[in-house]
Structure 1
Amino acid sequence: MKTNFYKNQSLVLIVDDEPFIRTQLRLALERDGYQIAEARDGLEALILFQQLHPQIVLMDAIMPGMDGFECCIKLQSLDQGKYTPVLMITGLEDQESVDQAFDAGAIDYVTKPIHWPVLRQRVKRLIQQSQLQKQLEAANQELQRLVTIDGLTQVASRRRFEEYFSQEWQRMARDQLPLSLILCDVDYFKSYNDTYGHRAGDRCLQKVAQAIKDSVKRPADLVARYGGEEFAVILPKTEMQGAAILAEKICSVVRKLAIPHSNSQVSGYVTISAGVAADIPQPGSDFQDIISAADRALYQAKIEGRDRFQLSNKQSTYNFSIPRWGA
């Protein structure tokens, strides 16, 4: 095992059982400013790879013990391995060996005796391609995050809500398990904006969203911004009773924020109303029904005086709310 490191340079892992070949490769690549790590066989290569995370691997195909083909396959199974190009170096030029190299996960190959200008160009090109691929994947991940996260409140977006709800509805239908939905609406929010201004309104929504998010503990539960001042909570594997407990908690924690709202007809602070619906989805059914049920329950909560939650049984709304806090 041999390493030679300089800062801010790409690291090349050379894997070959012949010291002379490793030395030739190292000297050729050091001229182009690469860092070099050397391994004498496939097993040592796997250890070094996980320790050093090289930008490219130059792999001899024929080695005793674990050959280059087997080592390449094992590298691809590692998390970092799927992003790291492997350039196979082989004395075999038959079609079967070439196919075997690519089947093992190699990106390209060069044959012995090595044509050094070709090798250097391929190393440079493969590193550049790998770096561009990583940058593209990072950009795509960030774009996906921006699409699925509401920019103001940093909870899930309406688009993510619909995608996730559809996914969980189908999963619960397949497993015949309950799914609950809570729809929340900030009480008298238009009046709040008119009184305190839109910037204050944005800050209010951010605080409410965070309070709702903090109330939801399970990883599978999703909090989303459903509309302007509306939020939704998807609760897989949850019956009405469990959803009701959470809805009461959400109403309570928002109230405890004590955000002043002088024009609220409920109290002097910002409050929310919530509608709760639950169902065991049936295969092929439409999840819009449970959304409508939760929306009707939310409307009933507003009629009943706001700052409360109301339960629905899908088609009609239970006349149920817990006495509230001197509203």
Structure 2
Amino acid sequence: MLPTNPKPHNQSPQDRDLVCLSDDAICFSDEDPDVTSLQDWKIMIIDDEPDVHRATQLALKNVTFENRKLTFLSAYSAKEGKELLAIAHTDTALVLLDIVMETNDAGLRIVQHIREELKNQQIRIILRTGHPGEAPEESVILNYDINDYKLKIELTRQKLLTTAIAALRSYRDINTIEQQRLKLAQTLEDLQQVQFQLEEYTHRLEAKVAQRTAALENANRELHRLAIVDDLTLVANRRRFDEYWQQQWQFLAHQQQPISLILIDVDYFKHYNDYYGHQAGDECLWKVAQAISSVLNRPTDLIARYGGEEFAVILPYTSLNGATKVAEAIAAEIYSLNIPHHQSKVSDRVTLSLGIACIVPQLELSPKTAIAFADQALYQAKSQGRNRFCVYLGNG
């Protein structure tokens, strides 16, 4: 029934499934794994007939599959089988299971126990029975998760060998697929973690970029402010005056609208500085600048420190009459500050001399023309005794 010395058979170069090393040693090999890192294949025999255990082990004892030997675990009842499965099912490759033991369906109950309670879908289960009528083959195959169904009288050594090796291959492939699935799942989890980290890093980076962009914009605005604001008086500086005057000249030349310019000089400021000191002089200039600024109500009007104790006021869309009223208001505002000036030759307080010019810009005319006109008017005001304003009327 179970011959111990199967006769070797010829094989083609492509057929590496079966290699006969000797009459008693059979090696099956699909691959050439590292022998040192592999454990034996575990085959569990659950059968209440001791002769079946001995015959099975005798038939398969010298078989090696993929450089791994077979190790046999034996249980002689369904109860022993469950106890053995509890400690060894996770790394058992194959169960050779008798159907009829304590009861007619003892083996079938173990199948359910393995699949449903132990939740082991990898282990290969081959049912063997010597009483086929008590467990109809078709019913068993359809209703139970088994991998093969054999009559014990069919299991010659050759058939048992074929059945066992097929089951081991199936177990190997299922485990390979499961390992690949686990690796893929781990890879996916790692990728999701990396993606999460990248998203988190991106959010942090975007926040930092936004923060630094805002800081850069603030710094640029501050640099621009510093570039166009006079440090002492905190009004526009000469650079801003030149830039704004050029812009308004071009713009109003196209619109053919008037622009007025008032040049202002603090009367006898050198004497003030020498008498009261430079710190008092700086404070005086600051007060004058802020007072002039308070008179200007339109956003298009600009006051700038023109140089030293001189200031300039640009009044777009302003006629000569309008500029004269602004000059009068500026002079009155400074007078009302009542800043003492004992070294002045025209008043007991700080006063101003103002020169006014009004012109409709022309593209072919230099913007410096109107500045020269206002400067002439300022010179006239100073020549006539200071503490007054004069208007350029074009008569020199």
Give the TM-score of the pair, scaled to structure 1.
0.61
Aligned partners of 2:383, 2:283: CA distance in 1, in Å? 27
Aligned partners of 2:214, 2:297: CA distance in 1, in Å? 33
* Map of 2:373 onto structure 1: 293
The answer to whether the Cα contact below 8 Å between 1:180 and 1:277 also exists between their aligned partners in 2 is yes
Aligned partners of 1:230, 1:158: CA distance in 2, in Å? 10
* Map of 1:167 onto structure 2: 247
* Map of 1:146 onto structure 2: 226
* Map of 1:236 onto structure 2: 316
CA shift at 1:285, angstroms?
Answer: 2.3
| Deviating more after overlay: 117-126 vs 167-176 | 117-126
* Map of 1:316 onto structure 2: 395
Structure 2: gaps spanning 5 or more residues: 1-191
Note if 1:252 corresponds to 2:332.
Answer: yes
The answer to whether the Cα contact below 8 Å between 1:293 and 1:316 also exists between their aligned partners in 2 is no
Aligned partners of 1:304, 1:211: CA distance in 2, in Å? 24
Superposed, 1:32-51 pairs within 5 Å as none
Deviations 1:89-108 (A, max 9, x none): xxxxxxxxxxxxxxxxxxxx
Note if 1:180 corresponds to 2:260.
Answer: yes
* Map of 1:226 onto structure 2: 306
* Map of 1:274 onto structure 2: 354
Aligned partners of 1:202, 1:305: CA distance in 2, in Å? 24
AA of the residue aligned to 2:238: R
Aligned partners of 1:293, 1:150: CA distance in 2, in Å? 25
Q: RMSD of the TM alignment (CA)?
A: 1.7
The answer to whether the Cα contact below 8 Å between 1:172 and 1:281 also exists between their aligned partners in 2 is yes
Q: 1:115 aligns with which of 183, 186, 195?
A: 195
CA shift at 1:213, angstroms?
Answer: 0.7
SS of corresponding position for 1:172 = helix
SS of corresponding position for 1:268 = coil
Deviations 1:127-162 (A, max 9, x none): 111111111111000111111111111111111111
Deviations 1:37-58 (A, max 9, x none): xxxxxxxxxxxxxxxxxxxxxx
Q: Quick check: which has more Rg, 1 or 2? A: 2
* Corresponding residue pairs, total: 206
* Map of 1:31 onto structure 2: none
CA shift at 1:268, angstroms?
Answer: 1.1
Aligned partners of 2:333, 2:241: CA distance in 1, in Å? 22
Deviations 1:175-214 (A, max 9, x none): 0000000000000000000110000001111111111111
The answer to whether the Cα contact below 8 Å between 1:211 and 1:250 also exists between their aligned partners in 2 is yes
Superposed, 1:120-131 pairs within 5 Å as 120-131=200-211
Give the TM-score of the pair, scaled to structure 2.
0.50
The answer to whether the Cα contact below 8 Å between 1:274 and 1:310 also exists between their aligned partners in 2 is yes
* Map of 1:200 onto structure 2: 280
Aligned partners of 1:191, 1:117: CA distance in 2, in Å? 71
Deviations 1:63-93 (A, max 9, x none): xxxxxxxxxxxxxxxxxxxxxxxxxxxxxxx
CA shift at 1:316, angstroms?
Answer: 3.4
Superposed, 1:84-123 pairs within 5 Å as 115-123=195-203
The answer to whether the Cα contact below 8 Å between 1:274 and 1:298 also exists between their aligned partners in 2 is yes
CA shift at 1:261, angstroms?
Answer: 0.8
AA of the residue aligned to 1:141: R
Aligned partners of 2:254, 2:220: CA distance in 1, in Å? 31
